[in-house]
Amino acid sequence: MDDARVLAQVMRKMMLRILPFIMLGYVIAYVDRVNISFAAIQMNVDLGFSATVYGLGAGLFFLSYGLFEVPSSMLMERVGPKRWLVRIMLTWGAIATAMMFVETPIQFYVMRFLLGVAEAGFFPTIMFYLSGWFPAAYRGRAISWIYIAPPVASIVMGAISGWLLELDGLGNLHGWQWLFLVQGMPGVILALVIWRFLPETPTEVDWLSATEKEQLGVALSRDAALVVEHARHDLLGALTNPVVLLLGFIGLFGNLSVVGLILSAPAILTDAAAMDTISIGYLVSGSGILGTVLILAAGWNSDRHGDRLRDAIILALACIAGLLALAWAPSPWLAIGGYLLLAVCTFPVGLLCVSSAPDLLSVRQLAVGIAAINTFWQLGSFASPYLTGIARDATGGYSAGLYAAALAASCQVALMVYLRHRVRIARAAHSLVLAGREFKGGTTPA
């Protein structure tokens, strides 16, 4: 069997044995960070929370997530990605469940902040872990399977959240308390499963032969040699790396444009389309199904042609169109169409940007670099729901916030265009340098 076939066989094995654990963990993580969008329908009324109080509490998760992202990732490098992943899941599952005991705005703020602290480092840990298993030619497809977690979570959350809210009064609990209880505990359970069954590195598994392990190592080493190195590999080095900064601000503007909508989607759709809770749940589930298909297609296509940022730009423009349609919304159908366009396209944009990071950063930069990038992203996530809530209380509607979100998304597109231009120039120059070295060594440049 030739090398390409061996490597393809290795990838199939890893897709089946590695990715399901990671994907399920990300599904649960996403549910636990955004299920307040459904809980708020009852919780805000029961506890007397204004849109501003809710928006601040919703956003505080992302603030603490961002602040503790780099420290968490640095600890992960010391203890190993598998152990750190289990620690993260145990603590966030317990805190997500304890959200059911919130009674005051201060308690709401504290619990959301602690949830972010607990989950900080989760995504960089996943990315670091996968970079040790999947070469660049397969990484887009691997990450796309991880990135379908948010739309899959939307399917699950939309399908069951409305029904959980209908349990209001059962066992002397409010419906929103049942929602936090049922959707929080799976994080703790899955942490124990991952501790038992997820392998740490390819070298320790018995389901890869010696030949397969060797071929995988060759592919990963070949990818590492193609990365344009940056002088420093610590936090300061990451923060002075233009690629890290550009990807960071791309995510900041992207999350600024969509997170407020995601966390207020049921309320926005209630206003714009006069939908009830169950119908909104089905719409959210439907958008999750369509988003899943598009994410897998985007990951496969970006691996095929290698230009991930080009596809991200196209999909981000579609997101802008969705935001404008939802903001204008002269009819319920246009509001629904705008929401679907945005909900379906926004996660593939994130996938393609995140998939670019391992292609552009060295292994030594990867953990801290992705953590630094994600910190920028979470700052946008923190500001988005808070500003959405302020705009809602100030204007009595969501249109002003949605128009502002479209402006933020336009900034994201401009930065992606610039980064794509920089990357193309840098890679061309790096290829010339490598060709010159090979020529001086006595061989003909490829």
| C-alpha to C-alpha distance for 296 and 148, rounded to whole angstroms | 7
pLDDT in tens, 302-349: 777 777 888 889 999 999 999 998 888 778 888 888 888 888 888 888
Checking if the pLDDT of 361 tops 80, the result is no
| C-alpha to C-alpha distance for 267 and 401, rounded to whole angstroms | 13
Checking if the pLDDT of 434 tops 60, the result is no
pLDDT at 270: 79
Checking if the pLDDT of 446 tops 60, the result is no
pLDDT in tens, 385-416: 888 888 888 888 888 888 999 999 999 999 99
pLDDT at 84: 93
Superfamily for 3-201+212-440?
MFS general substrate transporter like domains (1.20.1250.20)
Task: Work out the pLDDT band at 137, boundaries 50, 70, 90.
Answer: confident
User: Considering all CA atoms of the chain, what is the largest pairwise distance in Å, rounded to the nearest integer?
Assistant: 80
Report residue 23 CA to chain centroid gap.
11
| C-alpha to C-alpha distance for 342 and 320, rounded to whole angstroms | 8
Question: Among residues 68, 195, 56, which one has the least CA distance to residue 122?
Answer: 68
pLDDT at 127: 81
Checking if the pLDDT of 121 tops 90, the result is no
Task: Work out the pLDDT band at 362, boundaries 50, 70, 90.
Answer: low
Count of CB atoms within 10 A of residue 289's CB?
Answer: 14
Domain boundaries in the chain?
3-201+212-440
| C-alpha to C-alpha distance for 292 and 150, rounded to whole angstroms | 8
Counted residue by residue, the chain has a size of: 446
pLDDT in tens, 81-103: 899 999 999 999 999 999 999 99
pLDDT in tens, 11-42: 888 888 888 888 898 889 888 888 888 888 89
Task: Provide, rounded to the nearest whole percent, the portion of the chain with pLDDT above 70.
Answer: 89
Number of helices followed by number of strands (H, E) in the chain: 19, 0
pLDDT at 444: 39
pLDDT at 180: 93
Higher pLDDT, 8 or 223: 8
Task: Work out the pLDDT band at 439, boundaries 50, 70, 90.
Answer: very low
